[in-house]
Amino acid sequence: MTNKKVVVITGTSSGFGNLVVKMFANSGWNVVATVRKESDLHVHDEIDGVKTLLLDVNDEKADLAFGDLAKRQFGNVDALINNAGYFQAGPLEGSSMDQIHRQFQTNVFGLIALNKAFIPIFREQHSGIIINVSSISAEIGFPYTSTYEASKGAVAMLSEGLHAELAEFGIVVKALFPGNMNTSIFRPDKVDRAENVPESYMASWNKFNSLNTVRSNPQLTADVMFNMVNDGNTSKVRYYSGPDGQAIPRAKKLLGQDWLWEEFSKRNIGEQTTLWNALMPGPKDSDEN
Ligand SMILES: NC(=O)c1ccc[n+]([C@@H]2O[C@H](COP(=O)([O-])OP(=O)(O)OC[C@H]3O[C@@H](n4cnc5c(N)ncnc54)[C@H](OP(=O)(O)O)[C@@H]3O)[C@@H](O)[C@H]2O)c1
């Protein structure tokens, strides 16, 4: 048993997960970091206090057993960050049911199984923090992204329900809604593109994609993720990161749902209004990670 706190983070080969492993380790935490591929098992070798384990979150049996396995690494466990996920992109009509099921398997069912694995441990010790990574696309629905955002909407509502359900056991559940960030999730070899898209979608889909190419620095999200575990706030459930991630809920409050939706719909076909531009700051420093 160690005196150091222990955080378990899924999906740490790249992106937010990779950045936040370093932040926790540098702050004196022990980290159980998971990767999906054997070839990434040494990705954190240079960092002290990190144990890297293989976990494909699609394997529900492994997920359900992972709470105990993770606890055995350092003897205790204080926080879980469910970060692993990927992007199934494109019109719903062109996405196969198999693609849709796989998106939910990773982004929702795997995440649920991991929540289930750690809840009994946290309930027994009467403490524990669970961060579930949702998306700003669960706050407002982008076109050509409906399956992904449906999966992230499920994560958001699961987290709110659990926040209320588990408070009496000393467990704090929070959801993170990152804005558009420059990680490898958008790399063509990582995106699971709709397989069978009718030609008539292409012009609008291409135009929409061309509006979303500039993205913010993923460190902005890693900072919020780190803060969510460390800020001691047990009553706040929704956290937003990045200029767009923070501006969208603010604009929703200012304009109300219907007016925001009107402005947002114009923006998605390339008709940015003065009002939209005033409310939405541009991306910040877009280094990939
Ligand atoms: N970047 C954004 O703009 C953005 C916005 C909102 C929300 N998010 C969410 O943020 C989270 C992190 O994404 P990121 O942007 O940092 O992208 P990323 O760099 O692609 O990182 C995603 C991580 O999840 C892992 N992963 C994917 N499928 C997995 C599986 N079945 N089992 C275990 N690990 C798996 C990936 O492993 P491999 O390298 O092996 O594939 C990778 O380590 C995701 O949940 C994503 O949906 C991202």
Find tokens 């099921």 and name the residue.
101
Q: Whose CA is nearest to atom 17 of ligand 1?
A: 185
Distance set, CA 251 to CA 205, 256, 269 (Å): 25, 8, 19
Task: Please say if the pLDDT value at position 1 is more than 80.
Answer: no
Q: Whose CA is nearest to atom 36 of ligand 1?
A: 11
Q: Whose CA is nearest to atom 16 of ligand 1?
A: 15
List pLDDT tens digits, range 123-174. Answer: 999 999 999 999 999 999 999 999 999 999 999 999 999 999 999 999 999 9
CB-side neighbour CA atoms (13 Å) of 34: 24
Please give the pLDDT value at position 288: 64
Q: Is residue 281 part of a domain?
A: no
Mean pLDDT of 107-120: 99
Which helix (DSSP H) or strand (DSSP E) does residue 54 occupy? strand 50-54
| Residue 41 in tokens | 């098992």
Which helix (DSSP H) or strand (DSSP E) does residue 79 occupy? strand 79-82
Q: Whose CA is nearest to atom 14 of ligand 1?
A: 15
Q: How many CB atoms lie within 10 A of CB 166?
A: 18
Percent of the chain with pLDDT over 70: 98
Residue 58 CA, closest ligand 1 atom number = 31
Q: Is residue 33 part of a domain?
A: yes
Question: pTM score, two decimals?
Answer: 0.97
Question: 6-9 and 192-193: which strand pairing?
Answer: unpaired
- Structural domain for 83, as ranges: 6-242
Going from the Cα of 83 to the center of ligand 1, the distance in angstroms, rounded, reads 6
Going from the Cα of 50 to the center of ligand 1, the distance in angstroms, rounded, reads 19
For residue 139, give the amino acid letter: E
Residue 55 CA, closest ligand 1 atom number = 33
Going from the Cα of 271 to the center of ligand 1, the distance in angstroms, rounded, reads 31
Question: Among residues 86, 144, 148, 239, which one is catalytic?
Answer: 148
SS (H, E, C) 111-124: HHHHHHHHHHHHHH
C-beta of residue 207 within 8 angstroms of C-beta of residue 164: no
CA distance 112 to 85: 13
Percent of the chain with pLDDT over 90: 93
Residue 89: closest CA among 195, 212, 216: 195
CA distance 235 to 50: 30
What are the strands, taking DSSP E only, across 134-219? Answer: 171-178, 192-193
- Pocket residue to mutate for ligand 1, from 8, 10, 12, 13, most atoms within 8 A of Cβ: 13
Q: Is residue 149 part of a domain?
A: yes
Q: Which residue ranges have their beta carbon within 6 Å of ligand 1? A: 10-17, 36-37, 55-58, 83-86, 106, 133, 135, 178, 180-181, 183-185, 190
Q: Please indicate whether residue 201 is annotated as part of the active site.
A: no
Residue 17 CA, closest ligand 1 atom number = 16
Residue 159: closest CA among 174, 172, 148: 174
Q: Is residue 262 part of a domain?
A: no
Q: Is residue 270 part of a domain?
A: no
CA distance 80 to 67: 9
CA angle 62-63-69, nearest 5°? 75
DSSP secondary structure, 247-263, as one string: HHHHHHHHH-HHHHHHH
Please give the pLDDT value at position 272: 79
List pLDDT tens digits, range 230-269. Answer: 999 999 999 999 999 999 999 999 999 999 999 999 999 9
C-beta of residue 15 within 8 angstroms of C-beta of residue 218: yes
Find tokens 């190419």 and name the residue.
213
Question: CATH no. for residue 50?
Answer: 3.40.50.720
Domain count, the chain: 1
Q: Is residue 238 part of a domain?
A: yes
Q: Is residue 163 part of a domain?
A: yes
List pLDDT tens digits, range 175-215. Answer: 999 999 999 999 999 999 999 999 999 999 999 999 888 89
CA distance 64 to 50: 21
Q: Whose CA is nearest to atom 25 of ligand 1?
A: 11
Q: Is residue 269 part of a domain?
A: no
Under the phi-then-psi rule, with left for phi > 0, alpha for psi from -120 to 50, and beta for the rest, what region is 232?
A: left
